[in-house]
Structure 1
């Protein structure tokens, strides 16, 4: 038995396990578990970390397989698809003025549907080997999971915005759209070891670090939005 061939798939299953735990925390009641969204964010982040390394070890050990590809998407579907959908459901349900028996919060699961379509399409899209077209589901999951944590800050304006059901619905629709939009996003990989060839990537990473330092959880959605904006700007400049 080749032990190395099982390492990437085991890591992928670890990602799925983290996604299951994150989903359980997302379902916890705020009154009894005030830190439940923080724990959900933590386990989603850990799952995404494992998601990166399963591919890394598959390439390192040269054991990439169709099974690994399918496992990766199925694990991502839970960690980066179901968990953010559940999170948005509860954000909408707890939004100001939302009737207790309203069906409106179920629209949060549009994120889960969009994630499912994105992952299925990614598996058959040969254009996305080195870069992405549309927001990857892990990035989108971090974007959504960071929203309830932003409310822990002192900004009343943000608090009002992120408890408004129409704003949350707008974020849901944007999230679902951006994952499946035909928008090429620049690769974060350093293909050549020169500053000139990686200026965009280096600038973005430094800017992201500054946003995390100064804005903490708020920095995460700002980073995602900046990534999309810079990608669109980069696409425009390359066409000139």
Structure 2
């Protein structure tokens, strides 16, 4: 089961790679369309909503499933539901052209996809990574952050936003250093830093 879950996690990371470059390709080729936007969101629901929900479910139900009396494990699919809500609201919200409200679905999906790899790097973490008392509150928290009215910066570089670009370079540099030293365990740290980034940006403007 571990190998199957990790394969699914690798595919989430691969999906995030293509999700980043399909936007670049569409802008470079001027191939943007409304239906393309909707299809992109549909793909994101699967890659960063359904698959991460299945990953949490399998961490909670490592054997044959579902285990009688443990139907609460289906709580993991709240991530799927709230990812769909997040993507639907993003498509119709004009306020999210150059920034975000709520945690982007790729960040949420990558956070979850990194979890099964962490015990390989830090064996002591294996005691709680798959524990319901960790996974269920995490599921609820991530589900809330997906739709929370939390303003978050876009990491797309812009010629007009030099101050924002400076932040992006610094943030991406920190991300690369964290990945170099922590590997997959860097992903949750990066997501937490991203969630805290509005505080840093506000402090720099004061």
Confirm or deny a common fold (TM above 0.5).
yes
For 2:193 and 2:33, locate their aligned partners in 1 and report how far apart those are by CA, in whole Å. Answer: 34
Q: Distance in 1 between matches of 2:202 and 2:162?
A: 20
**How far apart, in 1, do the equivalents of 2:162 and 2:34 lie?**
36
Confirm or deny: 8 A CA contact 1:81 1:137 kept in the other structure.
yes
**Whose RCO is larger (CA < 8 A, sep 6+)?**
2
| Counterpart secondary structure, 1:35 | helix
Q: 2:184 aligns with which of 217, 220, 230?
A: 217
Larger fraction in helix: 2
**Is 1:135 aligned with 2:93?**
no
For the residue of structure 2 that corresponds to 1:189, the secondary structure is coil
Quote the RMSD (CA, aligned, Å): 2.2
Q: Which of these residues, 29, 35, 42, is aligned with residue 67 of structure 1?
A: 35
Provide the C-alpha distance between the structure 1 equivalents of 2:163 and 2:139, rounded to a whole number of angstroms: 37
Matches of 2:20 and 2:26, distance apart in 1: 10
Residues 1:88 and 2:60 aligned together: no
Q: Aligned pair 1:163/2:130, yes or no?
A: yes
Tell me the distance in 2 between the aligned counterparts of 1:138 and 1:173.
17
Q: 1:123 to 1:91 in 2, by over 3 A?
A: same
Q: Is the 8 A contact 1:184 1:231 kept in 2?
A: yes
Q: 1:155 Cα deviation (Å)? A: 3.5
Aligned partners of 1:196, 1:126: CA distance in 2, in Å?
A: 23
Report the count of equivalent residues.
Answer: 203
Tell me the SS of whatever aligns to 1:132: strand
Answering whether residue 29 of structure 2 is matched by residue 58 of structure 1, we say: no
How far the C-alpha of 1:197 sits from its partner, in A, is 5.1
* Counterpart among 194, 201, 204 of residue 234 in structure 1: 201
Q: Say which of 114, 136, 150 aligns to 1:183.
A: 150
How far did 1:146 drift? 0.6
Contact 1:37 1:149 in 2 (8 A): no
Shift in Å, 1:67 = 0.9
What is the match of residue 4 of structure 1?
Answer: none
The residue that corresponds to 2:140 in the other structure is: 173
- Report the equivalent of 2:81: 113
Alpha-carbon separation, structure 2, partners of 1:159 and 1:92: 13
Question: What TM-score does the superposition give when structure 2 sets the normalisation length?
Answer: 0.89
Query: Contact between 1:134 and 1:183, CA under 8 Å: does it hold in 2?
Result: yes
CA distance in 2, matches of 1:70, 1:147: 29
* Structure 1: runs of 5 or more not aligned: 1-29
1:145 aligns with 2:113: yes
